[in-house]
Amino acid sequence: MTTKQPEFSLNRPGALIAALPAILGFVPEKSLVLIAVDRGELGSVLRVDLSEELTDNVGHLAEVAAAAGPAAAIAVIVDAAGAHCPVCDDQHRRLIDTLSEELARNNIELLGAHVVDEVVHGGRWHCVDGCGAAGPVDDPEASPLAAAAVLEGRRLYPRRADLQAVIAPDDAARSAAVGAVIDDCAADRAAAAQGDAREQARRDVEQVLAAVVAVDAGRAPTDKELARLGSSLTDVLVRDTLCALAIGEHAAAAEMLWSVLARALPEPWRAEALVLLAFSAYARGDGPLAGVSLEAALRCVPRHRMAGLLDTALQSGLRPDRIRGLADTGYRLARQLGVQLPGRQGLGQRAG
């Protein structure tokens, strides 16, 4: 994720650590967080779980960080159990030494590394190399980035698991019920498409638009409707056309529909809904939701092309305005299909 920060200082560890929940979308625990510094501003921010194997795998983290071409980075280790443990301090130093070497291979200077016990107001941090610098964590809720997140309509979660729960599948019985219908829907679509594939795509897009309007009016789709919608998203022309909804007047309702589909559809069908949810979240600047959605999509379909491209863009710090061109492509495809999509959002509006 990449962001800009008014009234924010990278050279104050207490303030930097306090900003992490707003940047990541959740409060990190047992984590290594790598913050890229791009021309004096906060660049891409990457987080991985702390584990015994991490020291051997930080080379990949450094390579991902290098994709955006930053000159420098700052590392933060979040470790409640090991923040005040001499043996753990040695482990942290070895990890940071290895990370520094891998970053240097990619022409990135590690400006500093800090260990913190908890990312809460009054949590304690200290430098990894024993320089003697230490202090309290500022109030995360008072961080300028937290205020910006609230103004942007982003929700902040207590833990990463709470963020992942937004896209977690519904109960197995419901997914099975939808799955029992979805094969019949797919067969019906395939038969209809043999006559005129573009006409079928047009009907599919209009069917999804009707579902978005219904969601906007407060009506939840039935399991049969979910199955019919989910089967249509496997058509790349349909899915790519629907990307336009991320910048349209009903963007919030469309994103809500993608979320409902992602929770209700069985694998591998849910991957397409997750990709649309990720694109919608990414386009409005919600990197955390986009990230967990793409992670789930790639678990469903590891070689999913669009999910892979969006994940690479997100991890490399590509700004949301740079990926919104996919939504413009959706409007162009809709015109070719003869479908009238909702108008683009007015200046200053946001998706949700």
Topology of the domain covering 13-157 = Cytidine Deaminase; domain 2 (3.40.140)
DSSP code of 154? -
**Cβ neighbours for 194, distance < 8 A, ≥ 6 positions apart:** none
80-89 tens-digit pLDDT:
987 677 778 8
Whether residue 145 has pLDDT greater than 70: yes
At 4, is the pLDDT very low, low, confident or very high (cuts 50, 70, 90)? very low
| Domain regions of the chain by residue span | 13-157, 172-337
Q: Tell me the per-residue pLDDT of 183-222, one tens digit each, with 9 for 90 and over.
A: 777 677 766 666 678 888 999 999 999 999 999 999 989 9
- Encode pLDDT of 303-332 as tens digits: 999 999 999 888 877 888 889 889 999 999
What confidence score (pLDDT) does residue 83 get? 67
Question: In this model, does residue 334 exceed pLDDT 60?
Answer: yes
Check if the beta carbon of residue 266 is closer than 8 Å to that of residue 303. Answer: no
Mean pLDDT, rounded, for 165-191? 81
Asked whether the bond before 268 is cis by omega within 30 degrees of 0, the reply is yes
Quick one: pLDDT at residue 194? 66
**Of 80-84, 159-163, 222-226, which gets the smallest average pLDDT?**
80-84
pLDDT band at 157 (very low <50, low <70, confident <90, very high): confident
Amino acid 352: pLDDT? 40
Q: If you ran DSSP here, which 8-state letter would residue 157 be given? A: B
Render 314-342 in DSSP notation, one character per residue: HHTT--HHHHTHHHHHHHHHHHHHT--PP
Model confidence at 42, pLDDT cuts 50, 70, 90, reads confident
Dihedral (Cα; 336, 339, 345, 346), 10-degree rounding: 80
Question: In sequence order, which ranges of 133-235 are alpha helices (DSSP H)?
Answer: 144-151, 160-164, 172-195, 197-216, 223-232
Best CA proximity match to 277, nearest among 267, 268, 266, 263: 263
Rounded mean pLDDT, 270-296: 94
Q: What SS3 class is residue 46? A: strand
Tokens of 181: 């219908």
Query: For 130-165, b where at least 16 C-beta lie within 10 A, e where not — what string?
Result: eeeeeebbbebeebbbbebbeeeebebbeebeebbe
Tell me which DSSP letter residue 249 carries: T
Local confidence band at 108 (pLDDT 50, 70, 90 cut-offs): very high
**In the prediction, which pLDDT does 209 show?**
96
Residue type (1 letter), 236:
V
d(CA 103, CA 73): 8
Please state which of the ranges 18-27, 142-151, 276-285 shows the lowest mean pLDDT: 142-151
Number of H-type helices and E-type strands within the chain: 16, 6
* CA separation, residue 184 to residues 170, 197, 220, 261 (Å): 21, 18, 21, 17
Residue 88 Cα distances to 29, 94, 118, 171, angstroms? 16, 10, 15, 40
- Backbone phi, then psi, for 48, in 5-degree steps? -135, 155
Report the chain's mean pLDDT, rounded to a whole number. Answer: 87
Q: How far apart are the first and last CA of the chain?
A: 18
Mean pLDDT value across residues 110-124:
94
Closest CA to 152 of 2, 352, 319, 293: 352
Q: Which of 174-188, 222-236, 239-253 is least confident?
A: 174-188
Answer yes or no: is pLDDT of 11 > 90: no
Place of tokens 């306090």: 18
CA 290 – CA 315 distance, rounded (Å): 11
**What is the rounded CA–CA span in Å between residue 203 and residue 136?**
58
